Amino acid sequence: MTGALLEIRGLRAVFDGFAALDGVDLTVEEGELRFLIGPNGAGKTTLIDVITGLTRPAAGTVRFAGTDLVGRREHEIVRLGVGRTFQTAVVFEELTVVENLDLAASFRRPLWRLLRRRRGVDDAVREALAVTGLTELAERPARVLSHGQRQWLEIGMLLVQRPRLLLLDEPVAGMSRDERARTGELLTEIARGHTVVVVEHDMEFLRRYASRVTVLHEGRVLTEGSVDEVRADPRVQAVYLGGTREEAGDAVG
Ligand SMILES: Nc1ncnc2c1ncn2[C@@H]1O[C@H](COP(=O)(O)OP(=O)(O)OP(=O)(O)O)[C@@H](O)[C@H]1O
């Protein structure tokens, strides 16, 4: 641990009078792999939207590497080193895997380099292909990729932009068992060189790959701790599953 990379204080986001975030305080240390869980509507995606400049908060601060992000535009926040994925992967269907990565990498290249014809594959693109396991598929169009491979490509498209912080919104949703395991390994590997925040519902996935978990509920942080601590917390059992403690215990445990 080398200090806080992301410091959020008193964050509020309001839609038509409804507070989707209602005073969120969250600190993520540099180098952490942090999981964010919570029932539907808890505010997880809204939190990512506010950090990345898509939604403007009504109040509160978001400090990233000492810089306040509130009021900055999305592309500025990307340039400062914050990358995100969406619940549905956004890739260019007709471009090949390597072209998708190359295009994403171009966002951090100076214009004069974009205008020159490029030779060979950028180091960052090569690394992203290797880490996501897509090297063999580099020349295939993105439209032929499986659901899991598209998610990995999208993560690769973030990595080539060399972010310090990656925010991943439900990266394993809809994946097969094998794809989930591969994604867990991928996240673990990425977290060696980056700070990563992952929104995830899947308890089995959390048990395997999460160390520290933050639970959001009704726009606030309910609790934070190790997977075991969070699972044992009766408040989490009660709200996360919305049922009785016994029912919740079965599902969380
Ligand atoms: N753009 C918007 N306009 C109006 N209401 C919104 C908007 N975005 C989110 N909300 C509301 O804010 C609340 C929090 O939504 P959010 O998507 O952040 O929750 P979540 O924890 O990500 O849930 P899920 O697990 O279902 O994705 C919900 O009640 C949602 O309906």
Q: 15-32 pLDDT, tens per residue?
A: 999 999 999 999 999 999
Q: Which domains does the chain have, with CATH numbers?
A: 4-252 (3.40.50.300)
Single pTM value for the model: 0.88
| Mean pLDDT score of the chain | 88
pLDDT tens, residue by residue, 210-242:
889 999 999 999 999 999 999 899 999 888 655
**pLDDT at residue 213, as a whole number:** 94
What is the rounded average pLDDT of the residues 242-253? 46
**pLDDT at residue 251, as a whole number:** 44
Contact 92, 77 (CB under 8 A): no
**pLDDT at residue 109, as a whole number:** 59
Residue to substitute in 11, 14, 15, 87 for testing ligand 1 pocket (most ligand atoms within 8 angstroms of CB): 15
Q: Is 15 in the pocket of ligand 1 (CB under 6 A)?
A: yes
Confidence of residue 2 (pLDDT cuts 50, 70, 90): low
* 216 CA closest ligand 1 atom index: 21
pLDDT tens, residue by residue, 60-82:
999 999 999 999 999 899 989 99
Compute the distance from residue 201 Cα to the ligand 1 centre, in Å: 15
* 13 CA closest ligand 1 atom index: 12
Closest among 136, 133, 138, 132 to 120, alpha carbons compared: 138
Compute the distance from residue 20 Cα to the ligand 1 centre, in Å: 6
Q: Is 37 in the pocket of ligand 1 (CB under 6 A)?
A: no
**pLDDT at residue 244, as a whole number:** 44
CB neighbour class for 122 (10 Å; exposed up to 12, middle 13-18, buried from 19): middle
What is the rounded average pLDDT of the residues 125-138? 95
pLDDT tens, residue by residue, 42-51:
999 999 999 9
What is the rounded average pLDDT of the residues 181-201? 93
Compute the distance from residue 14 Cα to the ligand 1 centre, in Å: 10
* 49 CA closest ligand 1 atom index: 18
User: Residue 174 corresponds to which tokens in the numbers above?
Assistant: 């809809």
**pLDDT at residue 61, as a whole number:** 97
Q: Is 107 in the pocket of ligand 1 (CB under 6 A)?
A: no
